[in-house]
Chain A
Amino acid sequence: MDILYFAWVRERIGLPRERVDSDAATVAELVDELRAREDRYAVAFEDLGALRVAIDQELSDFDAPIAGAREIAFFPPMTGG
């Protein structure tokens, strides 16, 4: 699946998107896998309360299942308008 990062999440991880093969069942499990990779991921995902997640471009939750998802995006709370 494709993982996308926006705003300061993108800056902390250092890239806007990447392809990840994962058997994670939920967003939270995927986050745990990413955190274990490198410090920059651990730093970006330190406080999930400060993050939002979208699955296939729909806002979702960290306990949501991700089976079959094509695109998962992580970003801070939105500031439109």
Chain B
Amino acid sequence: MRVLVQDAPFDLGAEVTEFSTGLDNAGAVVTFTGIVRDVASGDLQVMEIEHYPGMTEAALTKIAQEAMQRWSLADALVIHRHGRLGPGDQIMMVATAARHRKDAFEAAEFLMDYLKSRAPFWKKEITKDSADWVAAKDDDEAALDRW
């Protein structure tokens, strides 16, 4: 299991290849990648991602450990970036490996649902004319109920 919080970009292909290598007991690897989406008006310049150093790593580790246990995963990976990103940039990724795909898919969704509202990150969308903090959605909180 690996949790990385970094401002540098990551190489999605290389990460997935490394993650998928040497997993003798796993028949399934699922990955999810989060991308900076443009605002509705189409003029996003920067997405600034703030986080709480220390708590971020602890929270992500706790969430990943829970996923490892609940779905008997062979491995799990979470990479989340912070700092200034542009439209189309990769923000984060999760990867899960399990014997069967159902567990790998479910664990990846669990990781995503939890890190959306339980990992201390905050996003700010900056355009030429505005700078707005992205508000948390009620749906995101409600998504935790199914776990």
| Contact surface of A with B, Cβ cutoff 8 Å | 4, 6-8, 54, 57-59, 73, 75-81
Contacts and interface: CB of A to CB of B under 8 A. Distances in A.
Contacts, number: 69
A7 B133 contact: yes
Nearest to B137: A79
23 contacts: A6-B52, A7-B124, A7-B133, A8-B133, A57-B52, A57-B58, A59-B118, A75-B120, A76-B136, A77-B136, A77-B141, A78-B116, A78-B119, A78-B120, A78-B121, A78-B136, A79-B122, A79-B136, A80-B116, A80-B118, A80-B121, A81-B112, A81-B116
A59 B59 CA distance: 9
B142 interface: no
A69 B142 CA distance: 30
A61 B32 CA distance: 32
A57 B60 CA distance: 12
Given A6-B122, A76-B133, A80-B121, 13 more contacts: A6-B50, A7-B124, A54-B55, A59-B59, A73-B55, A76-B136, A77-B136, A78-B120, A78-B121, A79-B134, A80-B118, A80-B120, A81-B116
B123 interface: yes
A6 B124 CA distance: 12
The binding surface of chain B is classed by DSSP as mixed
